[in-house]
Structure 1
């Protein structure tokens, strides 16, 4: 198991009426968090506390206890430099007749980022084909994809190596695809978010038409490597890459389950078998879903949203 140097930071800003009677303790461990809210007087109904979307693990008239995994309760993860931070909110929703006003307290666990670690985008379990769990990964890599990147800063025009994978465990072989990726300036997508499209239309690397971006040859079906040319969007700002990862049957590629990039002065090319690059022809129009075929075949794609970042693109001329 990776050696974690872990520390915790807890920010408390209590209202005057609460500060004299309440205490919050946070214990950050490598895989889980224990948070205890204690009151010397029964001012608040402790069953009404929430950590993210989680109810207290246990509660008494004067104490609310949460003992939860970091992959639960909507913890948010942020990688900045050498720090790996998990953030959440402790909230209290008071009933209408209460003298205690609703409030929110930020909860932060900060860890030193291990050198051999790259971000996990998804820990929780879900099933595929009725078998054991899948775990998706995505991360910034070094130039030859042999390990994690040493920096999250990339000069404009350089290549940003990105690798995603899915842990197969006892599953039949799975093919990992990047269904969609866009760059944004926030870790979460909103309707008003400014975006830079990277992969759209069910696996079409649209950025490859205007840049040197490309999919690298596969080493494993359960991994996909992308060399993304650093773009001018949000230059000098923090950039997040929001993706949809898709695990699928390697033998069942179609226009909605594919990885296509544009080969200059040639055409769209299918990463996994250029002989079937006609599956990429729809990249110039619309790659529609074949729902009836999927239902009849009994095959189901496993899809997971992932966020990579923050990273920064710098202007070499500034």
Structure 2
């Protein structure tokens, strides 16, 4: 049986904004603490430690791998997703900065994408050093018998509605917006009644955080405000429109991430302060002069750009070909109920 030792994949990176997407396989068995299966090919999803050695056929998770569902979810053109995380035994997530968690070396996260029930791709984030993450994806075969690493991505995957699988170079465009790469496994997303599996409350109960909060983080406001702020947080703020030094949207001045220390009132959130009655920097045809005009969603640049899927107007600028009707409606309702 070939061990994982001395297996080294090619290094593919993108400097600057995209950061480096390191692809080295460490000289040990998968970090789940389970030995690699015989003849394990590191290009196979089956060899990443997501499933037990004899669990591929049944998709049985490996020991230590936990599923989770955030309260607020990223729109990906209607695909269904499942999310999993492995934290090495005896470790904790460093939550000294509650808005920018730092994960222990050996952490792995997977996100599975399905279209009409069929698995399309599974993405992997794997922390192999203090500042080194593997960011890659695995493409499922049509019969779901295997999932092979796909480094260069694929556009318009057959059988889907124009779904694109990102390349390793593209991964950093979103994930580098966080201090330690991970986007959906964070304080606000894991709080609330809609969070499932390994939630913030469960992390606290199991002693997996270095600085556990006293309670979940509640988004302020009425139901319309909560829905809109949560949607903008996960779809725009966590990855891009934040103060992160490598976040794509940081230079715009628009801040849509919900910081845990600013949840006392809607009007205290960065989302409100940088969008409502704030001038838009977009000098594009069809875009109004203000990001959010209270009571007038049709004149608000924020909603105009959310509803576009072509050219420079599109927001988000990648990862989606179709407008999210539910997200649009939540933001529209928030704006129109303002006085």
User: TM-score, structure 1 length as denominator?
Assistant: 0.32
Larger radius of gyration: 1
Higher percent of residues as helix: 2
Higher percent of residues as strand: 1
